[in-house]
Amino acid sequence: MLKRKLAVRGLRKRWILNSIGPVVIIMVLIGSLAAGAVNNIYFGSAQSSLEAKAKAGADYFNTYTMNSYNEYYRTASLYVASFDESDVIELQFLNTSGKTVTSTRGLTAGTSPGTPEIAQALESGNISHFTGLDPVTGERIMAVSSPLVFNGAVVGIMRYVTSTRQIDRQVLFTILSLVAALLGVLLLVVFSSLIFINNVVAPVAEVSEAAKRISGGSYGIQIPNRYSDEIGELVDNINDMSLKISQSDKMQTEFISSVSHELRTPLTAINGWVETLLADDGNDTRQLHRGLGIILKESRRLSNMVEELLEFSKMQDGRFTLQIEPVDLQAEFEDAIYTYREIFRQEGIALEYDEGGQVYERPIAGDPERLKQVFCNVLDNAAKHGGSGKHIVAAMRQEEDQYRITVRDYGPGIPEAELPYVKQKFYKGSSKARGSGIGLAVCDEIVQRHGGTFEIGNAEGGGAVVTICLPIEPEEK
């Protein structure tokens, strides 16, 4: 149980790592890119706004007020006094030494801001900007410096300065909202994935436990199937496998018991008669012939059983082969009929043969020994299981490109519930007749390897009927 739980946890862990892990990585990348984009948008917008103000103000001063220093200073003082955004933006005018001449905050006059964009603007004559910590106050600021030009020379700087506290708050709020949204999506993915994997793990664990019980010998157990997807199909397959293993195990057990009994019976008869004949002084010729006949009959029965077991062994390990050649099927079938007719007559069973009044000359491609084995087995089986009807009818017909052979007895027939299993190995069903239960399986294998069909059913009017269909070789043009 501990091993199964560990396996389940391992499956869930692998699922989380393989499915949710990439989602987490993707979301982290999306969040990082989105955070950078938000930061650029907010700060870029603020910087553009300050640059626009700085450019407009510098253009005004460069065009209308650069006639003399007094006029410049007076206009700068008026411009600072009338600046209507002084609550959020500080406007400064700096000289070429980088010191403040006038400002919307009078306390900063005469001081040197010390940010690098001032020197850049003085040196290049172009607008420069700076975002970072104020060297004087330590506060995060954004500053834009625009040069003031007179007669082609930079004579001062118009500088706009604003705190980025509000922008930082907006960026932080937006990023936190984005992170919360991504976490919500991630939690939804994790929750749905856990539900899905639990719906997979539970039946897999159940199937695994059932398979473990089957491998431990609990053949035939069935798993309740509550699923309509691939898991349900797997459960059906496991249940079918369990049932077939149970049936196979049961048939194999019955086969061992049956074969043991079948071997014991003729061996007992042989041993008994050998002991009887050895004890006899040899004067009773009739008893001697009778005993030798029984010994011969039981020896043949043993030989047939051993032969069937050998055929079964060849089928199991792939050594079952055919020696294909053109075969006169009618001749082989009639040989089997004539062989068994006298044997059946002695047992009081009439064997009737109906060839339809025709001679079937077209051959088939097959193994004559194997086919004769099939015919003999089917005839013997008809006498064994349907001998109480005292009548067996064998018939042969040509139907287009195949031969159809039927062997019918007039015995009790086969119970309907047993019909699907009569060709299975070791299966004997409710029959009390002697045999190993593999003869019909061998016959079915031989006929199938000839490209034909081997069917067993009940005939109208009573009794069982075996139908063998074999393909005819095509005629040469």
Which residues on adjacent β-strands are paired with residue 394? Answer: 353, 407
Span 353-392, pLDDT tens digits:
988 878 888 889 999 888 988 898 899 888 887 767 789 9
Q: Please determine, for residue 77, whether its predicted confidence score (pLDDT) is greater than 90.
A: no
Centre a 10 Å sphere on the Cβ of residue 302 and count the other Cβ atoms it contains: 16
**Cβ 422 vs Cβ 414: under 8 Å:** yes
- Domain spans in the chain, listed from the N-terminal domain onward: 2-169, 230-317, 325-471
| Region at 435 (left for phi over 0; alpha for psi -120 to 50; beta for the rest) | left
Q: What is the pLDDT of residues 188-242, one digit of tens each?
A: 888 887 777 777 777 777 777 777 777 777 777 777 777 677 777 877 888 888 8
Digit-coded pLDDT (tens) for 143-154: 999 998 877 788
Can you tell me the mean pLDDT for 10-16? Answer: 68
Which comes out higher in pLDDT, residue 426 or 61?
A: 61
Q: Which CATH code fits 325-471?
A: 3.30.565.10
Would you call 94 helix, strand, or coil by DSSP? strand
Average pLDDT rounded to a whole number, residues 42-69 = 82
Rounded Cα distance between 399 and 388, Å, is 31
Instruction: Indicate the residue type of 231.
Output: I
Enter the pTM of the model.
0.46
- Give exposure, 20-41, as e/b (b: 16+ Cβ within 10 Å): beeeeeebeeebeebbeebbee
Q: So what's the pLDDT on residue 477?
A: 42
Mean pLDDT (whole number) for 1-21: 60
End-to-end CA distance of the chain: 70
For residue 4, what pLDDT band results from cuts at 50, 70 and 90?
very low
Q: Which numeric CATH code is attached to 230-317?
A: 1.10.287.130
pLDDT for residue 31 is more than 60: yes
Superfamily of domain 2-169: PAS domain (3.30.450.20)
- DSSP 3-state assignment of 112? coil
